[in-house]
Amino acid sequence: MKVKQPAWASMPVLDVRALSDEVICQLTKAYNAVCEKELTALAKLDTDPVRAEIDKEDATPEKDKSMRLRLL
């Protein structure tokens, strides 16, 4: 998959320095749950069970501002 360089400028970048210890812990647990599983090809991402599991692990409640991920 190729992304043209001008497209990069509009992409948000996660500021990991702004994450709380609680969020880092949740992200670590989510990563450890899927890190050894194999992803399917990007063309099949809509039916990939591992990608669905990753999406499900997004533990960022909208109502809790302290849990939101800040982007640069």
Residue 25 corresponds to which tokens in the numbers above?
Answer: 């812990």
Q: What is the pLDDT of residue 66?
A: 47
What secondary structure, in 3-state letters, does 11-29 show?
Answer: CCCECHHHCCHHHHHHHHH
pLDDT for the residue numbered 40: 93
Q: Is the pTM of this model over 0.75?
A: no
* pLDDT number for residue 71: 46
Per-run averaged pLDDT (10 residues), the chain, 72 residues = 71 85 88 92 91 74 48 45
CA 47 to chain centre: 18
Which pLDDT score, from 0 to 100, does residue 65 have? 47
pLDDT of residue 57: 66
